[in-house]
Amino acid sequence: MFLNIGPKLFNAFGTRSFLLSNNVSELIGELH
């Protein structure tokens, strides 16, 4: 059960952090 949930949570957090980093980089690019 945990083995099936683990990868899904990891992928969810991975994509979420990836989108956040992209948004931050875009904001910094607009500021500069």
Q: What's the pLDDT tens digit per position in 1-32?
A: 566 777 787 788 888 888 888 899 898 898 87
| pLDDT score recorded for residue 12 | 81
Q: Please name the amino acid found at residue 2.
A: F
| pTM for the full predicted model | 0.46
| pLDDT score recorded for residue 2 | 60
Identify the CA nearest to 28 among candidates 20, 15, 14, 18.
Answer: 20
Structure tokens at 19: 């989108």
Please tell me whether residue 1 adopts helix, strand or coil conformation: coil
Residue spans of beta strands (DSSP E) within 1-32: none
| pLDDT score recorded for residue 1 | 55
Sign of CA dihedral 9, 10, 16, 17: positive
| pLDDT score recorded for residue 19 | 86
